[in-house]
């Protein structure tokens, strides 16, 4: 038990030093990198190891006779959480979201310290001690608090009222509801019933199963299946069209959506909102092929009213590409990310 706990304590100390060092720039902030695509799970794991670390730490401290009162444990953990959210998580989350997490964290800490009557008593004991001011130390503390709290709160409100020029927060609909049908190059496509004409097997028949069997493999790298090279000249059907779609993608789309379809293209850094990341399971993996067809054809300018702020520079590609080319690009995007388009059934 003791060995286990000291291991935990070691994790806790190391983690705190690492985080502190990275926050204050003592050690390079890239020492522990956030790996793209695995960020949420990585952060959860990190927090979990901190919790383990703290458990070990508090156990070791109390074993050494320097037990930290429950009161400070609770406050300390909450402060740690807030600092972690502010300095560790990247890209930075806005204050309003952090405030939400902070509230949840506070409630959690409260639940923890008030799990039973005894714990709750232990927790509020220091507060009561200061209020009662039985000892000289506590009396001093009481006066310090009496003066400090109004000054702090006054200071905070002064700070909050000073005119600031922080960027206003904008919310935006990521996937606005599509129309029932869309007219591209003079032809009307019903979004519910349309199919990608290039999702076909070598015999030329629409074949979802065949195409799904030939997309890239999920997992690191998302590489093509060994026997499904779109650059093989003998290809017929699906893979041939994937290659044609890729050629169009790399002449038109990669400038923003990136070589790896992750929204990190050559020009992407200049735009806000940043271009869509197709490798994210929240984008094309959630949508029907026809939805993509509609968004590509009509671009940012074709967004419905609820799709504001319309800051999208996505062009209506119908001005640059034919219907066939758009379908092929859509086909390529699903191939390259290894996602199956959603279907209606």
Partner 1 sequence: MKDSITQKAGIITAVAFGVVLVSTAGYSTVSAQGLPEGFKKGELAAEPSAEMIEAGKRVYFTKCVWCHGVDGAGDGPGADRLWPRPRNFNQGTFKIRHTASGELPLFDAKKPIPGQNDLFETVTHGLPGSAMPPWEGILSEEQRQQVLSFVTTQLVKDRKFTDKQSESQTVLQLADLKPKPATDESKKRGGELIVEKKCVECHGMEGRGDGNAFNLKDDWGFSIQPANWHKCWNFRGSRQDPYSVSNIFRTFSTGVNGTPMPSFADNTTVDERWDIANFVNSLCERDPLGNPLPIDPLTDKPKINFVIPSDMVEGEIPTDLEHEAWKKAPRRYVAMGGQITHKPRNFVNRLDDIWVRSLYNDKHIVYLLEWDDRTKSVAEGKLPWAPTQVNIDVKEQDPKTGEEGSIAAHQNNYAVYNDAIAIETAVKWKELPAPIKPRYLFGTNEQFPVDIVKWEADGSLRAFKGTGWDKDFEERDNYEEAMKLLKAEWKNGRWYVMIQRPVGNKKDQDYDEDTFFEVGQYIPTVFFAWDGHNGDAGRKMAVSAFYYTFMNPPVPQETYIYPVVIAVGVVLLEGWILTRRSNRKKGKAL
Q: Which of residues 47-106 bind partner 1 (CB under 8 A)?
A: 90-91
When binding is defined by CB under 8 A, the residue of 14, 95, 301, 322 that contacts partner 1 is: 301
Query: What are the CB-based long-range contacts (under 8 Å, 24+) for 281-286?
Result: 281/339, 282/174, 284/333, 284/334, 284/337, 284/339, 284/341, 285/337, 285/339, 285/340, 285/342, 286/175, 286/342
Helix (H, G, I), strand (E, B) or coil at 321: coil
When binding is defined by CB under 8 A, the residue of 96, 158, 186, 209 that contacts partner 1 is: 158
Which CA distances in Å does 270 have to 68, 267, 274, 313? Answer: 49, 6, 8, 11
Q: Is residue 334 near partner 1 by the rule CB under 8 A?
A: no
Name residues contacting partner 1, limited to 199-228 (CB under 8 A).
Answer: 216, 220-224, 226
Which CA distances in Å does 261 have to 106, 272, 317? Answer: 39, 17, 17
Q: Is residue 310 near partner 1 by the rule CB under 8 A?
A: yes
Q: Is residue 132 near partner 1 by the rule CB under 8 A?
A: yes
Q: Are residues 196 and 289 in contact, defined by beta-carbon separation less than 8 angstroms?
A: yes
Name residues contacting partner 1, limited to 264-283 (CB under 8 A).
Answer: 264-272
Q: Are residues 320 and 240 in contact, defined by beta-carbon separation less than 8 angstroms?
A: no
The angle subtended at Cα 327 by Cα 252 and Cα 248, nearest 5°, is 25
Q: Which segment (35-43, 46-54, 77-85, 101-109) binds partner 1 by CB under 8 A?
A: 35-43
Question: Closer to partner 1 at the Cβ: 1 or 169?
Answer: 169
Q: Is residue 31 near partner 1 by the rule CB under 8 A?
A: no
Question: Closer to partner 1 at the Cβ: 77 or 334?
Answer: 334
Query: What residues form DSSP beta bridges with 313?
Result: none
Q: Is residue 135 near partner 1 by the rule CB under 8 A?
A: no
Q: How far is the CB of 316 from partner 1 (least distance, A)?
A: 8
Q: How far is the CB of 154 from partner 1 (least distance, A)?
A: 3
Rounded to an integer, what distance in angstroms lies between the CA atom of residue 258 and that of residue 234?
28
Question: Closer to partner 1 at the Cβ: 66 or 161?
Answer: 161
Name residues contacting partner 1, limited to 223-242 (CB under 8 A).
Answer: 223-224, 226, 229-231
Considering only the C-alpha atoms of the chain, give the largest distance between any 2 of them, rounded to a whole number of Å: 91
CB under 8 Å to 177, separation ≥6 — which residues? 304, 306
Q: How far is the CB of 180 from partner 1 (least distance, A)?
A: 24
Question: Closer to partner 1 at the Cβ: 262 or 283?
Answer: 262
Q: How far is the CB of 8 from partner 1 (least distance, A)?
A: 30
Rounded to an integer, what distance in angstroms lies between the CA atom of residue 123 and that of residue 111?
11
Q: Which segment (14-22, 168-176, 184-192, 288-296) binds partner 1 by CB under 8 A?
A: 168-176
Closest by Cα among 87, 71, 82, 74 to 25: 87
Q: How far is the CB of 124 from partner 1 (least distance, A)?
A: 12
Q: Which segment (16-24, 63-71, 152-160, 204-212) binds partner 1 by CB under 8 A?
A: 152-160
Question: Closer to partner 1 at the Cβ: 11 or 331?
Answer: 331
């Amino acid at each position: 038990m003791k060995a286990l706990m000291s291991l935990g304590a070691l994790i806790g100390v190391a983690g705190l030093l690492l985080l502190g060092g990275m926050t204050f720039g003592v050690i390079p902030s890239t020492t522990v990198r956030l790996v793209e695509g695995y960020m949420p799970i990585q952060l959860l794991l990190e927090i979990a190891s901190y919790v383990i670390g703290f458990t070990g730490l508090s156990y070791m401290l109390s074993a050494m006779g320097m037990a930290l009162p429950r009161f400070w444990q609770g406050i300390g953990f909450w402060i740690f959480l807030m600092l972690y959210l502010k300095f560790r998580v990247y890209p930075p989350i806005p204050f309003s979201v952090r405030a939400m997490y902070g509230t949840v964290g506070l409630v959690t800490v409260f639940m923890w310290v008030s799990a039973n009557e005894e714990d709750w008593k232990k927790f509020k004991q220091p507060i009561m001690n200061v209020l009662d001011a039985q000892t000289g130390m506590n009396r001093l503390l009481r006066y310090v608090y009496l003066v400090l709290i109004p000054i702090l709160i006054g200071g905070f409100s002064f700070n909050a009222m000073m005119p600031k020029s922080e960027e206003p927060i904008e919310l935006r609909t990521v996937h606005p509801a599509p129309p029932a049908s869309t007219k591209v190059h003079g032809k009307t496509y019903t979004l519910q019933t349309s199919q990608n004409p290039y999702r076909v097997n070598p015999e030329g028949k629409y074949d979802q199963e065949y195409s799904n069997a030939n997309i890239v493999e999920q997992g690191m790298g998302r590489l093509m299946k060994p026997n499904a090279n779109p650059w093989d000249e003998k290809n017929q059907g699906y893979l041939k069209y994937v290659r044609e779609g890729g050629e169009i993608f790399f002449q038109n789309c990669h400038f923003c959506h990136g070589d790896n379809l992750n929204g990190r293209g050559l020009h992407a850094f200049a735009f806000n909102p940043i271009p869509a990341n197709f490798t994210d399971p929240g984008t094309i993996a959630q949508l029907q092929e026809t939805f993509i067809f509609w968004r590509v054809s009509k671009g940012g300018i074709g967004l419905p009213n609820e799709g504001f702020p319309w800051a999208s520079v996505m062009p209506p590609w119908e001005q640059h590409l034919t219907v066939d080319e758009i379908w092929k690009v859509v086909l390529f995007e699903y191939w390259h990310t290894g996602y199956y388009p959603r279907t209606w059934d």
